A = this chain, B = another copy of it.
Amino acid sequence: MAETFVVVGGDAAGMSAASKAKRENPDLDVVVFEKGEWVSYGACGLPYYVKGEIEELEEIVAVPKERFIEERGIDLRTNHEVTGIDTEAKSVTVETPDAVIEQSYDSLLIATGASAIVPPFDGIDLEEIYTIHDPPSGRALREALERPESERPQTVGIVGGGYIGIEMAEAFRGQGLDVHVFEMLDHVLDPFGEMVGEAVEEELRDNGVTPHLGTRVEGFDGEEQVEAVRTESDAVHVDMVVVGVGVNANATIADAAGIDIGDTGAIAVDEYGETSAQDVYAAGDCAEAEHVVTGEPDHVPLALTANRAGRAVGQTVTGDPTPTGPIAGTAVVKAFDLEAGRTGIIDEERARAAGFDPVSVSITSKSRAGYYPGGSAIEIELVADADSKRVLGAAMVGEEGVTKRVDTVTTAIYAEMDTRQVEYLDLSYAPPFGPTWDPVLTAAKVLNSKLDG
């Protein structure tokens, strides 16, 4: 009898695993249970759908449901929610639209994703308060913006200045709304560091967005609909709220099944994505991943990690053990006309906790040769360990040429290069694309001097 690979969750990690496993072993029975309607969608596209740059919600679907079933031979069942896992009996309990069934597995992947955190704010249940995390939530927001003019929201409050908050600020400005961003910390984009935060805040203001920094939201006022965001010091009138304060791993069913949960709140896994229960794997936004700098488990729920880990698990369950790979926490975001990026460890406290003695420099360079028309500034913060000079992380911001320069540093981090080695890289140069010394080289050179000094 054919073995059965059961996948819980039909987005990036789940469908990557299912597709890879079926491709590697066509005899394998691959069953995917997805509790919702949508599979294999790019949640990262939602802000651009709300903005109106992406016309139809269906465009963010990477592979339509039918192709998984008809072309790839995957037994994909939507509106099927897995409510329990029995790791002894090797079976899952599934609520189908009609009944509750048991499905046995030989190997199981938990790919339940993450959910938007909704803090218990006073007034959180008022109407016109949204989160954004999946296609239906994106559709709800877009529909609100497509109402007749008299009912259309004019002012939106975004709670949380992380990358989703920033992307949504751009989306709502694109739709002509007044936008307020409320950030509890002193700067937006906290994981990108202060330098990037300040540049993005200026960009927000230049584009008519009002950032409220170091501002804790206490609740929402209103009768039926939200009418104001209440902070310690103020009440800001709004017609609509989006709460984007982060996500939590959907680890409840794993926890209930006795599977180990890590300190991050996500499911603990080994290098192959296997959980504490044998033949049970976890991948994507619900799972931890090893950080390449610290070697410690981390939880950075992003698309590439989910795709890659899912694909690796799909290969592993066919008998070809494949590591899911470490992460560097690489992230980039477009904020109006700015590009911001970060990779590795840039937070000093975090670096110290991992046993490093972090030293950093910030430099400003240019995206094109000085004499070539149209260039703009690129700011780079580069962090290295004082003793070993090993590059630990970087943050960057500028109008062009930022995101792929992050990848140069990411690659150096994976290779455990020191600042001297980075300074010696033969990086590309032509006047339209950068100065002779690429900004990354300049940052490494300056940091290297500082470490020598």
Contacts of A441 in B (CB 8 A): 304
A297 to chain B, nearest CB (A): 15
Q: Report the separation of the CA atoms of residues A341 and B430 in the bound assembly, to the nearest whole angstrom.
A: 10
Q: Does chain B have a CB within 8 A of A33?
A: no
Contact B426 A304 (CB under 8 A): yes
Contact B437 A53 (CB under 8 A): no
Query: 1/0 contact trace for A417-453 toward B, CB 8 Å?
Result: 1000110111111111110111011000000000000
Contact B411 A343 (CB under 8 A): no
The residues in A between 366 and 399 inclusive whose CB is less than 8 angstroms from any CB of B are: 369-373
Contacts of A323 in B (CB 8 A): 424
Contacts of A372 in B (CB 8 A): 45, 48, 53-54
Contact A428 B403 (CB under 8 A): yes
Q: Report the separation of the CA atoms of residues A371 and B422 in the bound assembly, to the nearest whole angstrom.
A: 35
Contact A428 B411 (CB under 8 A): no
Contacts of A412 in B (CB 8 A): 411, 415
Query: 1/0 contact trace for A2-25 toward B, CB 8 Å?
Result: 000000000010000000000000
Contact B371 A42 (CB under 8 A): yes
Q: Which range holds the interface residue count of chain A?
A: 35 or more
Q: Does chain B have a CB within 8 A of A266?
A: no
Q: Please give me the residue from chain B that is nearest to A422 by CB atom.
A: B411
- Most chain-B CB neighbours within 10 Å: which of A308, A403, A406? A403
- Most chain-B CB neighbours within 10 Å: which of A331, A332, A407? A407
Q: Please give me the residue from chain B that is nearest to A331 by CB atom.
A: B428
Query: 1/0 contact trace for A213-236 toward B, CB 8 Å?
Result: 000000000000000000000000
Contact A328 B404 (CB under 8 A): no
Seed contacts A332-B429, A407-B425; 13 additional CB < 8 Å A-B pairs: A45-B372, A54-B373, A60-B371, A62-B370, A292-B426, A304-B427, A304-B437, A328-B425, A330-B428, A341-B428, A404-B407, A407-B408, A414-B426
List, sorted by A's number, 15 A–B pairs whose CB atoms are closer than 8 Å: A44-B429, A48-B371, A59-B371, A303-B429, A304-B426, A304-B436, A308-B424, A339-B433, A403-B430, A404-B405, A407-B440, A408-B408, A411-B425, A414-B415, A414-B425
